[in-house]
Structures are given as C-alpha cells and as structure tokens.
Amino acid sequence: MTSTWVPGADATPYTVANLPYGIFSRPGEPARAGVRIGDHVLDLAPVLHDEVFATGSLNGFLARGRTAWRDTRRLLQRLLAADTREVSANRAALEPHLIPLRQVRLHLPVEIGDYVDFYCSLEHASNVGRMFRPGGEPLMPNWRHLPVGYHGRSGTVVVSGTPIVRPRGQRVEAPGGEPVLAPTAKLDIEAELGFVLGTPTRLGENAGDFAEHVFGVVLVNDWSARDIQAWEYVPLGPFLGKSFATSVSAWVTPLEALAEARVPGRAQDPEPLDYLRRSEPWGLDLTMEVALNGDVVSTPPYQEMYWTPDQMLAHLTVNGASVRTGDLYASGTVSGAEPSQRGSLLEITWNGTEPVKLSDGQSRGFLEDGDTVTITATAPGPGGTRIALGEVTGTILPNAR
Ligand code: CA
C-alpha cells in the first residue's frame, strides 16, 4: 500500500487509499472543500489551483463526472505519497495547506437536491412488518420485485453533529385511541448508507452505469418518530415521522475508495425484471457500528442487504425521472439476521418491549433527551488494511414547545 508523508496518517484509517471529501471552515474564513488525510484536512483550492473547490459545496466538482473524479484522486494520491521522487517538493508545496481537523468546523458536504429513502434490508422490512402488521405477511407482495422507496425531505438533511430536537406530532397513545399532539415518545434511529449523485440524467432517460452517476457514499441516520409514523403512514407512506431531520456524515467517501469492499450482491429470489439485473458486483462489505451514549448496541453488516445500490438507481430512473447532481438516496435501515445486527432501536428493543441495557446501568426502549447516537463504518482497503467512513452523530434536545 502507498504510504504518505503526512505525519501519523498511515496509522489511521484515513490513508491515501481513503481520501474522503468534505466542506470545512476555520473561524472567520469561508467554507471550502478538502480531503481528509489522517487527522488533517487538505485545503484543495490552493493546492489544485481550482476554484471549484473554493465554494461551500462539492456540487461543482461532482458535476464534472467520473473522469475528473478519478484524475483528481490520482493526482492527490501522487502528491501525498511518500515514495515519489518529488516528495520533498510536494511536501513543501502542500504542507501550508494541511490543517489539523481540530481547528476546523465541518459543514454539509453537498447541496442536497432530491432525497429518496429505500427499504432494502430483507430482515429490517420483515421485522417492521411483523411489528406494524401483526398476524399478516411481514413482506408486501411487491417487496421482492422492486426496491421499495419514498421521497424524503432534502431540506432537513443535516450534517453530523447537528443537534436533533425531539419532534412533536399527532399520535395515538393506544390502539383505537384518540390522537393527541405531543412530543414523540418513540424517537428512534435508522443506520443507513447514502449514495451521492454526481452525473445527472435527462428527463425521460434511464440512468446507465451506476459508477458513472454515483460519486460516493455517506453514512446516514434517518431519525424516526415511531408513534407518529405508525399513525400517519397508511396509505401514502412515511411523512412527518421522518421529515424532521436526517443526519449525514460530513465526509463523502468516493466509490473508488471502496474498490476492495465490492462483493456480489445477495442472491435474489425471484429473479428481478431485466432492468434490475445486476451486471457488476455492487454489494459492499461495510461493517457498521451503532453506539448509544458510547455503548455499541449494534453492528449491521451492509453486504447482507437484499437490493444493491445499482439496482436502486436503475429503479429510481426506470420511469424516466431525472436525477441531479447532489441528489441523495439512502439504502434503508441496515439490519442483519442476528439480533446484534439490527439497525434501529425499534428492532433492537422490539418496539420498546425488550429494552437495551447500557454500561452505566440505564436501559433504553427508545431515545431520551440528551442521548447521543453515533454511527461509524469501516471497509476493507488495500493489502489487508481497513478504511473508515466518516461518522454520523447527533444528540437529542428536548422539545421546548
Ligand atoms: Ca429509513
């Protein structure tokens, strides 16, 4: 594996094989683009002499397309490498633009266009079906034929670290009861992977090759108010139980950094229609970790997802709907087959009936005010190493209304 001259970086999961992109600022300075290397961020505009990186979002760079993404990544890897003949000159040129992470604030990396959330875990969909429709078939008849999804609210996608105010909404206290307007009593998380669109499609066109359109991935926490959701979701799906906030990691990991994580998708039965047939392995071997107040409560395995992200994009555009630079679509809650692999408290605590015990002696059915949830993930990198995706974290604030 290529090593770097950046002090300490080779000992972190943010090596030259990773290089996620983000938007950062220092106090009193405008926000601009950088890549993370070790515990530093490299300020890209002065290093690459390119004003596209001097703006407050990655959208301009994402719109340039796959060749530009690859060329920029290769150039950065060369400039940061320890084993080139130009290492002294490169180091002298770049070092003034290498900023310790502790000095910067991270911002939403992308100006989000449309936001879609899928529902691609067989185990998650089955668990939710059992809880929300007891006695019925856990999966709807369509589930194995298409990646089910809905349009979410892009304006409330927030960067990791943004506090989450407990939402209020209409809910019923007990089945058959009258609705009340109150803060949610069932505030939950959903650990998901999000896909950031770079190259757009035209109206009436279907997206082609997944990697031509999708630039990279973010970690997503799709905060959910289960009591509001359960009362409102029939027949048109999630609405106010989801739209109050969706958190994403500050770092966007390029697909190219995930080359070693690519695996064949999970076997599908029945065989999907032709437009959903997989042509390349886009299952991703990511290990996710969900921590509640510092205690790991789940380790969802992304590679067990039933629908792969290339299938999600094919489905998203099969009707001719266009996608734009900066659009985001998320996988849906990542839940594995084991109870320790469930990506929501709804499933971990079985709708609050089996509270999870924390190391400080407390237990939780759903989130309480002051709770902090942090989702992290790692993936295989070159030569047996592992790379990390940027974390997504958030702390619950009380509803003061
Ligand atoms: Ca979700």
pLDDT tens readout for residues 77-123: 999 999 999 999 999 999 999 999 999 999 999 999 999 999 999 99
**How many angstroms separate the alpha carbon of residue 334 from the centre of ligand 1?**
9
**How many angstroms separate the alpha carbon of residue 183 from the centre of ligand 1?**
20
Same domain, 140 and 82: no
How many domains does the chain divide into? 2
Same domain, 73 and 152: no
The one catalytic residue in 40, 124, 213, 315 is: 124
Same domain, 80 and 164: no
Q: In degrees rounded to 5, what are phi and psi of residue 180? A: -130, 160
Closest CA to 226 of 186, 191, 174: 186
Last-in-domain residue among 58, 74, 107: 107
CB of 291 within 8 A of CB of 373?
A: yes
Confidence (pTM)? 0.98
Same domain, 260 and 313: yes
Catalytic: 151?
no
Same domain, 152 and 98: no
Query: Residue 362 falls within a domain, yes or no?
Result: yes
| Residue 1 clears pLDDT 80, i.e. is over it | no
CA atoms within a 13 Å half-sphere pointing along the CA-CB vector of 216: 29
Q: Encode pLDDT of 198-227 as tens digits.
A: 999 999 999 989 999 999 999 999 999 999
CA atoms within a 13 Å half-sphere pointing along the CA-CB vector of 266: 20
pLDDT band at 175 (very low <50, low <70, confident <90, very high): confident
- What is the per-residue pLDDT for 202? 97
Same domain, 65 and 178: no
Query: Residue 122 falls within a domain, yes or no?
Result: yes
Q: What is the mean pLDDT of residues 279-291?
A: 98
Same domain, 263 and 358: yes
What is the residue range of 38's domain?
9-107
Same domain, 144 and 101: no
**How many angstroms separate the alpha carbon of residue 20 from the centre of ligand 1?**
24
CB of 171 within 8 A of CB of 352?
A: no
Average pLDDT taken over every residue of the chain:
97
- What is the per-residue pLDDT for 76? 98
Q: What's the rounded Cα separation, in Å, for the pair 293 and 390?
A: 18
Same domain, 161 and 82: no
| Residue 401 clears pLDDT 80, i.e. is over it | no
Query: Residue 315 falls within a domain, yes or no?
Result: yes
Same domain, 171 and 288: yes
Same domain, 63 and 159: no
Same domain, 85 and 208: no
**How many angstroms separate the alpha carbon of residue 333 from the centre of ligand 1?**
5
